[in-house]
Amino acid sequence: MQEVAISEFKAKCLSLLQQVSKTREPIRVTRFGKPVADVVPLAEVQVDRNAWIGSGHGTAKILGDIISPASEAGGVGGAARLKLLLDTHIWLWAYLRPKRLRPHLLRELRKPTNELWLSPISTWEALTLHTKGRIQLPTSIWLHLSPSYNHI
């Protein structure tokens, strides 16, 4: 195991951490020749992506219908069947190149009972793509973002 004086570790900390990460070999930090710490590679963690399922059992209760829309008809959201949060590329394709979208998606986007939502970050992404010259945006695209046009 490589040993490094604490003063050297302090001066080269980032590069030594990168070395341990890359080589997977630990480093021992010493002070006056005595070990004070071992820098070891982070263990590979296997995460069970389904571990969250059921993990809240017994911590809360469902007291009513959680399937029906939470809002009353005529309230925020009305009786919409779906609230669709559009990803940036879906929004841009729907506006500029709808033939790139699958027919079932276009049907859902066109249904008047479905609400269309757009994250503010999507407008930033579109402006960034425009600034970098990756897309050209017509001014009219922003007219469709008014509050009266669904929730986009």
Q: What is the mean pLDDT of each run of 10 residues along the chain (152 residues)?
A: 92 91 92 92 70 71 70 51 86 87 89 87 88 80 55 47
pLDDT of residue 152: 47
The secondary structure of 92-131, three-state, reads HHHHHCHHHCCHHHHHHHHCCCCEEEECHHHHHHHHHHHH
Q: Residue 116's closest CA among 92, 151, 74, 70?
A: 151
pLDDT of residue 43: 74
In a domain, 105, yes or no: yes
In a domain, 67, yes or no: no
In a domain, 35, yes or no: yes
Domain that holds residue 19: 2-39
Total domains, the chain? 2
In a domain, 68, yes or no: no
pLDDT of residue 7: 92
In a domain, 18, yes or no: yes
pLDDT of residue 79: 54
pLDDT of residue 151: 47
In a domain, 150, yes or no: no
pLDDT of residue 16: 92
In a domain, 61, yes or no: no
In a domain, 60, yes or no: no
